[in-house]
Amino acid sequence: MEQFVASLPDEKKPIAQQLVATMKEMMGQSFDFKSMKCSEWKGYRFIPFFQAETARRAFENYEFEENTILLASYPKTGTNWTAEVIRQILYGDNERFSALSKALPPPLTALEIWRPEKLDLLEHIPLPRRVLLTHLPEELVNYEKLKKKNGKVVVLVRNPKDQAVSWFHFTKNRHFDGLRDEISSDWNQFLSDYVQGKHPMITKPGQWYPDFLLGWNKHKDEDNILFLVFEDMKRDPQKEIRRLANFLEVELNNERVSSIAQSTSFDSMKKAADAGAVDSAQVHKSLNMMRKGQVGSWKDSFTVAQSELMDSIIEKKLGDTDINFTYVL
């Protein structure tokens, strides 16, 4: 992360240093999430650490740079995996850009994380193409502005049963202790609340992951949107890497496709995170981001009744769309 700070103009260094310091606190034990409160914008509740004011500033004031790539994902659907694939597609063949892109503090590029002032840093990152991340619903992203700058959006899809189990294990983390009334650490309670839309995950009351997909699905036939499916990436990573590179208009030879597939496999990424190989890997390790990386492990947690309940809720929400999910490979 120091390499990122060093790459910025002097007047931007102090705010970047504060961002890096927050990241380091998070990796240790000293960061006090309990003191952080939910915020709200346009009826959407933002879970602490995501900040409504930052999202609002991003919508109203941030000017996307030409050819920006936005990775739009609901939590636990493969964000960090896909971000790493995109990073390697864009910068894997350039040592300097590769090193710098690895050194970016993870929340820097998310439209809704940390303080709004961090948005002023984005244009100064000395990389040729901006890759931004967001868990925001479509309504809270200034998509028209992005399109005018030839921006592209990659939307992630993962089956909601594996997503729910992943979200459950993630929220058992101490960082969520202040939210136990809303996000239970008991699986049965957790799941019941989740599918009723009671978790404040940048959602309105009653909403959860299918609602996020519904929002972005409005644009599904547009040329600048790609829906990428977690299970397809597991089944045939090389095919999906080619599809993604093609969408991003980057040419990759077979050797690079195969090397990206190998180095972004779950085992390789977990090994890198465990070894703390790059700064962001340490963050992933401290938050246990690399848990199982499988398709179908929801079967170890869901009862038959819970699975059927989720199916029926999803049918009600998405039955009129062509969105469907792969629950086993």
CA atoms of 171 and 191, how far apart (whole Å):
12
Task: Collect contacts of 270-278 with beta carbons under 8 A, ≥24 apart.
Answer: 278/102, 278/103
161 and 302 Cβ atoms separated by less than 8 Å? yes
Q: Least distance in Å: CB of 144 to ligand PPS?
A: 26
Binding residue (CB under 6 A) for ligand PPS from 36, 147, 291, 309:
291
88 is a site residue for ligand PPS (CB under 6 A): no
Binding residue (CB under 6 A) for ligand PPS from 7, 39, 159, 264:
264
DSSP string, 80-103: HHHHHHHHHHHHTT-HHHHHHHHT
- Three-state SS for 125? coil
Q: Any idea of the CA torsion for 312, 318, 321, 322, to the nearest 10 degrees?
A: -70
Task: Identify which range of 69-77, 118-126, 172-180, 275-283 contacts ligand PPS by CB under 6 A.
Answer: 69-77
Binding residue (CB under 6 A) for ligand PPS from 166, 184, 207, 217:
166
**Number of residues forming the site for ligand PPS (CB under 6 A):** 21
Q: Least distance in Å: CB of 90 to ligand PPS?
A: 17
In our burial notation (b when 16+ CB lie closer than 10 A, e otherwise), range 150-161 reads: ebbbbbbbbbbb
Task: Identify which range of 20-28, 62-70, 74-82, 301-309 contacts ligand PPS by CB under 6 A.
Answer: 74-82
292 is a site residue for ligand PPS (CB under 6 A): yes
Instruction: Please state whether beta strands 152-157 and 131-134 pair in parallel, antiparallel, or not at all (unpaired).
Output: unpaired
75 is a site residue for ligand PPS (CB under 6 A): yes
171 is a site residue for ligand PPS (CB under 6 A): no
78 is a site residue for ligand PPS (CB under 6 A): yes
Binding residue (CB under 6 A) for ligand PPS from 45, 57, 76, 198:
76
Nearest to 195, CA basis, from 208, 179, 180: 208
Task: Collect contacts of 4-12 with beta carbons under 8 A, ≥24 apart.
Answer: 4/100, 4/103, 4/104, 4/105, 4/108, 4/125, 7/100, 7/124, 7/125, 7/126, 8/121, 8/124, 8/125, 9/124, 12/120, 12/121, 12/124
H or E element at residue 261: helix 254-263
Which residue is nearest to ligand PPS, using beta carbons?
A: 293
Binding residue (CB under 6 A) for ligand PPS from 49, 187, 227, 266:
266
Q: Least distance in Å: CB of 92 to ligand PPS?
A: 15
73 is a site residue for ligand PPS (CB under 6 A): yes
User: For ligand PPS, what does the binding mask look like between residues 22 and 61, x meaning CB under 6 A?
Assistant: ----------------------------------------
Q: Least distance in Å: CB of 219 to ligand PPS?
A: 20
Q: Least distance in Å: CB of 66 to ligand PPS?
A: 26
81 is a site residue for ligand PPS (CB under 6 A): yes
77 is a site residue for ligand PPS (CB under 6 A): yes
Which tokens hold the place of 294? 């499988």
86 is a site residue for ligand PPS (CB under 6 A): no
The sign of the torsion formed by the CA atoms of 49, 54, 58, 64 equals: negative
Nearest to 157, CA basis, from 230, 70, 247, 266: 230
Residue numbers of the site for ligand PPS (CB under 6 A)? 73, 75-81, 162, 166, 169-170, 264-266, 269, 289-293
